[in-house]
Amino acid sequence: MRFGVVIFPGTWSDMDFHHVISQVLHQPVEYVWHRDTDVDRFDCLVLPGGFSYGDYLRAGAVAGRSPIVAALPGFVARGGLVLGSCNGFQILCEAGLLPGTLLRNDCLQFRCQWTHVAVEQTESPFTRGLRRGQVLKMPIAHGEGRYHVDQGLLRQLQERDQIVFRYATEAGEVTHAANPNGSVWNIAGVSNEEGTVVGLMPHPERAAETSVGSTDGLLLFHSVLGSLVENGSVLGR
C-alpha cells in the first residue's frame, strides 16, 4: 500500500499529505518529483495543493502537461489510484483526466475557510467507506475553485455518478449559501468514470487530526486503504 506524493514547482501541501500518510496512517510514502515517470511501485498517487508554476496561464495548466501527468493514464490503466486536492484537482482537469475545469471564484476572493461537503457517491475507492449523504468537514484555501461544466456534461456526470462531493451545510443541505465559490450544482469533487481518479477542492490532509479541528479527511484515506487490500490483494494486481 505504497503512496506517492507528487511535487511540482510551487506545490505546497506535499508535506501535509506526507505527514498524514506516514505519521497518522503509518503507510509507506515517498515524494515523487514531477519529472519522474517511473511510478509503478505505487498503489496511489496524490497530487497535492499549491500554486504549481505560479498558476501562470491557468491554474494547473503547465503542471497538467508535465511528464508525470502524462504517465498517469497508463498508471491508472494498470490499476493505480489518483487523488488530486485543490491545485491537484485543477491539474487533473487541465490534463483531461477529470471532466470540467476550475475558474476564478465568483466572489473574486481567495477563500480560506472550513466547508462541509455531502458525499454524493460511494462507488469510488476513495469513498467506498462512506455513506451517501454523509457530511464531511474539510477546509478549502483557493481563489480558483469554481467548478464549471456545461449543462450537457453536468447531466452526463450525474447519470454516470461521477459527482463525488457537493458543498452543503453542516446538516447536509445543499444550499446556495453553502457554496463558497459559485461551483455549478455545488460540486466540490468529481471522479473519472471508473472512480479511480478523484479530484476535490477541499483539503482532506488538513482535516486528519483532532488538533486541527476535524478528522473527516481521514475517511477518504481509510476508504482507499480498505480498497487496496480488498480480496486480500492490492486491487487485484
Partner 1 sequence: MRARIVVRLRPGILDPQGTTIQRALEGLGFPEVRDLRVGKVLEMTLDETDAMRARERLDEMCRKLLANPVIEDYTCEVVESDERRRAR
Q: Which residues bind partner 1 (CB under 8 A)?
A: 57-58, 61-62, 65, 93-94, 100-101, 103-108, 146, 148-149, 182
CA-CA distances (angstroms) from residue 222 to 24, 25, 129, 225?
11, 8, 7, 5
Point out the catalytic residue in the list 94, 120, 144, 205: 205
State in angstroms the smallest separation of the CB of 137 from partner 1. 27
Instruction: Report the amino acid identity of residue 11.
Output: T
Which of the residues 18, 34, 116, 203 is marked catalytic? 203
* Residue 193 known to be catalytic: no
Asked if 93 is an active-site residue, the reply is no
Contact 163, 134 (CB under 8 A): no
CB 180 within 8 A of CB 145: yes
User: Of the two residues 71 and 153, which places its CB atom closer to partner 1 in the complex?
Assistant: 153
Give bridge partners of residue 112 from the DSSP assignment: 141
Q: How far is the CB of 58 from partner 1 (least distance, A)?
A: 6
Query: CB 190 → partner 1: shortest distance, Å?
Result: 13
Query: Is 120 designated active site?
Result: no
Helices (H), the chain: 14-19, 67-77, 87-94, 151-159, 218-228
Q: Is the dihedral of CA 75, 4, 225, 211 positive or negative?
A: negative
Which entry of 86, 94, 116, 144 is annotated as an active-site residue?
86
Nearest approach, Cβ of residue 92 and partner 1 (Å): 13
- Nearer residue to partner 1 within complex by CB, 62 or 200: 62
- In 3D, which of 188, 160, 162 has the Cα closest to residue 174? 188
Q: Are 182 and 105 in contact (CB under 8 A)?
A: yes
Residue 99 vs 217, nearer CB to partner 1 = 99
Residue among 13 and 52 whose Cβ is closer to partner 1: 52
Q: Which residues are catalytic?
A: 86, 203, 205
